[in-house]
């Protein structure tokens, strides 16, 4: 699974990694969708959706690890 840094543009990922704020992550994903709202290429739209999902999943895993104190296996 790609890291948060590869799922979001670098300038956004660096900010997310520093702040680890769920609201900020959701807002950044919304900004990316608004930025590309006129995109018509189905393949590019799917890539944007996949990138957003990976970014949100990575953040959820990070928060789960932080709250539980245990690391999840990266191979699963």
Question: Side-chain half-sphere of 47: how many Cα atoms within 13 Å?
Answer: 10
Determine the pLDDT at residue 38.
92
Sign of CA dihedral 13, 55, 20, 69: negative
Determine the pLDDT at residue 40.
93
Percent of the chain at pLDDT above 90? 12
Q: In this predicted structure, which of 4-13, 22-31, 53-62, 66-75 has the lowest mean pLDDT?
A: 4-13
- pLDDT tens-digit profile of 5-51? 456 666 666 655 555 567 777 888 888 888 988 999 999 999 988 98
């Amino acid at each position: 699974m790609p890291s948060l840094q590869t799922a979001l543009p670098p300038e956004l990922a660096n900010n997310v990694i520093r702040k680890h704020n769920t609201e900020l992550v959701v807002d950044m994903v919304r900004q990316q969708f608004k930025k590309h709202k006129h995109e018509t290429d189905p393949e590019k739209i799917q890539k944007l959706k996949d990138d957003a999902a990976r970014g949100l999943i990575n953040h959820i895993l990070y928060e789960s690890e932080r709250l539980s104190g245990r690391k999840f296996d990266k191979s699963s």
